[in-house]
């Protein structure tokens, strides 16, 4: 069974067509990278799966459950890492993790919360610092810890590596691969071709609200992907 599936998904914003019969199927343990020009429909796709937006037609299914009909259920399966992680700036990393875990119905001891943050390799001395003092990469680690804490099977990410330095990107890639090896499924929208080849298992290229090309990440180099991308879009 697909963990995430879009079937003929379409979305109109007044007279703008953002998605036009999109079909995607992502299997357990995959890291599916969505590439596409600005306006191709990547964020719209993610927002429909998160239940933030309603599709105009077609189906969005998470673990076979339609998002629109059973939003409360599909939200339990899903975590979200946005481009800019917005957590509570006046709470520490550990307090944010505790708060959002409880919101998702999970209660952890202080020790367990610390272990969850350690899994993302957030430096120990940062656990008790306020989020306001965190870098983008550090905030992302808290968001990943929240995803692990809520035991989400599917993690949706929107341009997660934009603005990360190369070391933070490499660390982020390692964490994504570890999560996928443990059976989590990731779909990320990205503009970073190099990162897509590095982190992805499959790469989809979107154009004008459709998936027009799908590639096995192992079968291409970044240069080859860039060429295919430029020829496609």
Ligand X SMILES: Nc1ncnc2c1ncn2[C@@H]1O[C@H](COP(=O)(O)OP(=O)(O)OP(=O)(O)O)[C@@H](O)[C@H]1O
Using CB under 6 A, list all residues that contact ligand X: 13, 16, 18, 36, 38-44, 189
Give the integer Cα–Cα distance in Å for 110 and 219.
44
Give the integer Cα–Cα distance in Å for 131 and 124.
14
Smallest gap from residue 209 Cβ to ligand X (A):
7
Where does 14-133 show beta strands of DSSP type E?
16-26, 31-36, 57-62, 65-66, 78-81
Nearer to ligand X, 41 or 114 (CB): 41
Smallest gap from residue 39 Cβ to ligand X (A):
4
Number of Cβ within 10 Å of residue 86's Cβ equals 9
Nearer to ligand X, 60 or 94 (CB): 60
Give the integer Cα–Cα distance in Å for 83 and 225.
23
Nearer to ligand X, 81 or 189 (CB): 189
Give the integer Cα–Cα distance in Å for 56 and 204.
22
Smallest gap from residue 42 Cβ to ligand X (A):
4
Smallest gap from residue 38 Cβ to ligand X (A):
3
DSSP summary character for residue 51: T
Smallest gap from residue 11 Cβ to ligand X (A):
8
- Which residues 6+ apart lie within 8 Å of 98 measured at CB? 108, 113
Smallest gap from residue 43 Cβ to ligand X (A):
3
Cβ–Cβ < 8 Å for 75, 150: no
Strand partners, 32: 187, 202
Give the integer Cα–Cα distance in Å for 116 and 194.
29
């Amino acid at each position: 069974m697909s963990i995430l599936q879009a079937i003929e998904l379409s979305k109109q914003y007044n007279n703008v067509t953002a998605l036009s019969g999109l079909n995607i199927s992502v299997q357990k343990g995959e890291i599916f990278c969505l590439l596409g020009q600005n306006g191709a429909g990547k964020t719209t796709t993610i927002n429909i799966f998160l239940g933030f937006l309603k599709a105009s037609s077609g189906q969005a299914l998470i673990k076979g459950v339609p998002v629109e009909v059973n939003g409360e259920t599909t939200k339990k399966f899903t975590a979200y890492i946005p481009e800019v992680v917005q957590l509570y700036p006046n709470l520490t990393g550990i307090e944010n993790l505790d708060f959002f875990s409880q919101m998702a119905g999970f209660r952890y001891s202080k020790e367990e919360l610390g272990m969850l943050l350690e899994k993302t390799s957030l430096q120990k001395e940062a656990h008790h610092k306020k989020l306001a003092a965190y870098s983008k990469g550090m905030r992302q680690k808290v968001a990943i810890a929240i995803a692990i804490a809520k035991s989400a099977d599917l993690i949706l990410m929107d341009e997660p590596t934009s603005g990360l330095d190369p070391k933070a990107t490499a660390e982020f890639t390692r964490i994504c691969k570890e999560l996928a090896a443990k059976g989590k499924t990731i779909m990320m929208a990205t503009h970073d071709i190099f990162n897509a080849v590095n982190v992805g298992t499959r790469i989809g290229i979107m154009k004008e609200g459709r998936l027009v090309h799908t590639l096995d990440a192992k079968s291409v180099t970044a240069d080859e992907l860039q060429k295919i991308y430029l020829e496609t879009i």
